[in-house]
């Protein structure tokens, strides 16, 4: 059985779990984590960081929002995503949050199935928008998402 270890994001993880597209996001999340606005969980498998997922305490009062689930391709389908989500649920409960929300791309049925298996139900939809740097230019992304919630 693999041994998972769940912990908070650290500066050294930026080299391992973030690529050129999302490195700036990782740096911003570390800063927000220091300020107590978010908690970004990292899952280590046998001592190596293989996945991360964030929990935002301030985006919406009374609710904690899960975002940016990512497991390294070689380590998907081994329970890492499940372990990250269950860890974030425990952290949310400890912080006094009873309601969790996340967004999942309508064209990402595999991730949606994982969330449904863990008890999240569709409660709405939105277009998620973000930008990432590609050399000198900024690429704008708009993704149709289902919003899903769970009471923990
Ligand atoms: C979506 C994502 C975060 C899920 O992480 P994961 O580690 O692959 O998730 P899990 O392994 O916990 O579960 C996924 C599947 O593996 C299966 N699984 C879990 N543990 C397993 C094990 N020990 N043996 C075999 N299969 C297993 C689960 O049943 C599930 O199957 P399903 O695809 O039929 O639903 C990951 O695949 C990922 O990073 N994808 C790309 C980015 C992305 O889509 N992010 C989500 C944005 S909302």
Q: What is the pLDDT of residues 81-132, one digit of tens each?
A: 999 999 999 999 999 999 999 999 999 999 999 999 999 999 999 999 999 8
For 5, other C-beta atoms within 10 Å of its C-beta total 13
Closest Cα to residue 91, out of 39, 13, 30?
A: 39
Test site for ligand 1: of 114, 125, 146, most ligand atoms within 8 A of the Cβ: 114
pLDDT above 90 (res 140) = yes
pLDDT tens, 12-36? 999 999 998 889 999 999 999 999 9
Mean per-residue pLDDT for 58-76? Answer: 97
- Which residues, 6 or more positions from 71, have their beta carbon under 8 angstroms from its beta carbon? 43, 50, 51, 80, 81, 84
Instruction: Report the alpha-carbon distance of residue 15 to residue 27 in Å, rounded.
Output: 11
Query: Six-digit token pair at 7?
Result: 């912990």
What is the Å distance from ligand 1's center to 126 Cα?
23
Mutation choice for ligand 1 from 78, 83, 117, CB with most ligand atoms inside 8 A: 78
Cα 112 to ligand 1 centre (Å): 10
Please give the model's pTM, rounded to 2 decimal places.
0.94
């Amino acid at each position: 059985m693999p041994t998972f270890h769940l912990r908070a994001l650290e500066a050294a993880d930026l080299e391992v779990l973030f690529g050129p597209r999302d490195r700036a996001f990782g740096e911003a999340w570390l800063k927000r984590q220091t300020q107590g606005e978010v908690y970004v969980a990292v899952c280590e498998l046998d001592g190596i960081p293989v996945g991360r997922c964030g929990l935002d305490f301030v985006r919406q009062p009374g609710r904690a929002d899960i975002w940016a689930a990512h497991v390294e391709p070689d380590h998907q389908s081994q329970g890492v995503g499940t372990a990250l989500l269950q860890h974030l649920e425990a952290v949310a409960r400890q912080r006094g949050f009873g309601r969790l929300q996340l967004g999942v791309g309508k064209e990402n049925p595999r991730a949606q199935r994982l969330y449904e298996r863990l008890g999240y139900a569709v409660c709405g939809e939105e277009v998620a928008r973000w930008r990432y740097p590609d050399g000198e230019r900024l690429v704008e992304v708009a993704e149709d998402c289902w919003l899903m919630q769970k009471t923990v």
